[in-house]
Every structure is written in C-alpha cells, then in structure tokens.
Amino acid sequence: MKTTISLILTTLFLLYSGLFAQDGYRDIPWGSSKNATRKIAREYFGDNYYETESKLIFTDTFQGNDAIYSFFFSKDSLHTVGIKSELPYLLTDEKTFSDMFDKSEKEVDKLIRRISGKYGQPILQEKVKTDLFLRWEVDDTEIELFVERSYKYKMIMTYRWISYFETKQEKRQQQYLNEL
C-alpha cells in the first residue's frame, strides 16, 4: 500500500512539474540563476568563459564556425541567449567571389532549414537590402536569426524568454500611466 501511494505521489509530482516546466535554451530553463546556467553551459562549452554581473560569455562553434555564446541575466534570472558567428568565406576577391558567395548562401540555407525543421516555418521573414531577418516562436521562446550579408557573412541568433519581456513591458506601461 505504501509503495502504491508513493508511486502515485511521484507520478503526480512528475506530471505537475512537467506541466509547468519552462522553456529555455537547450537544457537551461528560462529564469535559471547564473550559477545554474554556468554549471549546465560548461557541460556544453567547457571552461573557457568570461563573466560579468549580467552575462556569461562562452566561445565554441556554431554550424562548424567559431562563435560567441552570450547568456543574459536580469536579477540573476536568465532571459536571453545570443549566438554570434561569422562564416569563413571572404567576398573580397573577384576571382573567388562567385564560389565564396555560393558557399555562404548554402550555409545560410542549411541553417534556416535546420531551424525550421526544429521549430517549424518562421512567423516572420524579411529581407532588408541584402540582409535577412527571420523569427520563430515556440511556446514561451522567441528565436530570431539575423544574417548580415557583407564581405563576410555574419549570423546572429537570439533566443528570448517571451514572458519576461512582456511582463517588463507591462510594468513600463503601468509606470508610464502612473506618471500621468
């Protein structure tokens, strides 16, 4: 009888905690403390990191290229992850321009297909001059990809905790109304 009750309570606890589990980046839930984030991020990126009061910055690779992973905190609560990477192809030589351009475009297409395969079709896709901006939303996470097409393609991805920013905006609006 004790084992049955224990099993039922454990099952209820797991169901309850699963229903209210927050989204986040990889295995790091939104709202995690800097210490908890550091511990999990070190498993992915190793011990090579830099830290400020509101950020953890790791270096690693993204799509096979060097990248900087930045974890942003407010009041010791994770709310944004940014990934900044450059493609290794230089578009400055006339002789190799076409080949380097094609390689760069293939890398961007591969990344967009990979993200869309994981999160579905983007809810926003805009081209600004030659640059590209896409946005996906999944549960409580907003994913954005910005591709700067210049002599060297730069890619910036951000993962943001939607509820955190909506709450912050509501507080600002209320503060503004109170000032009137």
- pTM reported for the whole predicted model: 0.79
Q: What is the pLDDT of residues 133-179, one digit of tens each?
A: 999 999 999 999 999 999 999 999 999 999 887 766 666 666 666 77
Domain that holds residue 139: 2-179
Query: How many domains does one find in the chain?
Result: 1
Q: What is the mean pLDDT of each run of 10 residues along the chain (180 residues)?
A: 41 34 81 96 94 96 94 95 95 94 95 95 94 94 95 95 76 65
pLDDT of residue 164: 84
- In three state form, how does the secondary structure of the chain look? CHHHHHHHHHHHHHHHHHHCCCCEECCEECCCCHHHHHHHHHHHHCCCEEECCCEEEEEEEECCEEEEEEEEEECCEEEEEEEEEECCCCCCCCCCHHHHHHHHHHHHHHHHHHHHHHHCCCCEEEEECCEEEEEEEECCEEEEEEEECCCCCEEEEEEEEHHHHHHHHHHHHHHHHHHC
